[in-house]
Amino acid sequence: MLAVIGGSGLSQLASLEVTERKAVATPYGEPSGPLSFGRLDGHALVFFARHGYGHTIAPHEVNYCANLWALKAAGVDAVVSIASVGGIRRDLTPGALVLPHQIIDYTWGRRATFFEGTGVPVIHVDFTEPYSAALRARLLRAAAGCGEDLIDGGVYAATQGPRLETAAEIDRLERDGADMVGMTGMPEAALARELELEYAALAVVANHAAGRGDSAHAVSLERIEAVLGATMARVRDIVARLAAA
Ligand code: HPA
């Protein structure tokens, strides 16, 4: 079963017919909210709002362990994360849709593994390719089927937030090889791997990253909202096509 984790600007999936909302208790505490089981254009999927349905949970306060555990416990095997990002690479301009292929973790202080605590054996997972190749391929096909240009590949830098970055921090991320920056990509991707969930991120470029393009002197939060509002119908169509495939 496919799950979609909606991020900023997508705490609901337009025209999702919800058949059941299910609160799942986990050994890791409370997830961000209930899981919404439903149908999109007639095809089953589970929708989940990463920041809560009222968008009240900040990126560093999201209980990523509980969220992913709840999805796994509900029978989900593939997760598409919708993630808004700032564009660093020149072609990643506001409104672009990108399928990252790599990630660098700059977050701190977030619980980033299920394998901790007394009596829990230490397990190392391979994370060379952080995103599922099969799910990425399905997303590319779904986007092509909708006539949407989904840019294939890019390095996602996961920052702590909730503040946006300084221009010098973006310069550093670029020197590190990052193409886009967001706040929720980690530890979500790593936890999905630990649970053997297929995982891919569909990134929506909401703004030029700090110091770039029209964010040369400031990032406009109003513009971010406007871009996300204008882009989410396209994301929804790709998700619907994916659920149908
Ligand atoms: N930085 C970090 N996260 C973001 C940004 C950004 O510029 N835009 C949307 N999410």
Residue 229 CA to ligand 1 center (angstroms) comes to 15
Does residue 61 register a pLDDT over 80? yes
Does residue 158 register a pLDDT over 90? yes
- Measured CA to CA, the distance from residue 94 to residue 155 in angstroms comes to 17
Residue 242 CA to ligand 1 center (angstroms) comes to 25
C-beta of residue 198 within 8 angstroms of C-beta of residue 135: yes
pLDDT, mean over the chain = 95
pLDDT of residue 52: 87
Residue range 193-214: average pLDDT? 98
Does residue 95 register a pLDDT over 90? yes
Residue 205 CA to ligand 1 center (angstroms) comes to 8
Nearest CA to ligand 1 atom 5: 86
Residue range 168-177: average pLDDT? 98
Q: Can you name the residues that pair with 130 across neighbouring β-strands?
A: none
pLDDT of residue 78: 98
CATH number, residue 211: 3.40.50.1580
pLDDT of residue 9: 73
Residue 182 CA to ligand 1 center (angstroms) comes to 5
Residue range 112-138: average pLDDT? 93
C-beta of residue 32 within 8 angstroms of C-beta of residue 57: yes
Range of the domain at 111: 2-244
Does residue 122 register a pLDDT over 90? no
pLDDT of residue 130: 98
pLDDT of residue 16: 87
- Measured CA to CA, the distance from residue 218 to residue 208 in angstroms comes to 10
The reply to whether the predicted model has a pTM over 0.85 is yes
Residue range 92-105: average pLDDT? 98
Q: How many CB atoms lie within 10 A of CB 68?
A: 30
- Of ligand 1's listed atoms, the one at least distance from the Cα of 219 is 7
Q: How many domains does the chain have?
A: 1
182 lines ligand 1 (CB under 6 A): yes
Does residue 135 register a pLDDT over 90? yes
Residue 86 CA to ligand 1 center (angstroms) comes to 4
- Of ligand 1's listed atoms, the one at least distance from the Cα of 208 is 7
pLDDT tens, position by position, 14-48: 788 999 999 999 999 999 999 999 999 899 999 99
Higher pLDDT, 120 or 73: 73
Does residue 11 register a pLDDT over 90? no
Per-residue confidence at 12, pLDDT binned at 50, 70, 90?
Answer: confident
pLDDT of residue 55: 75
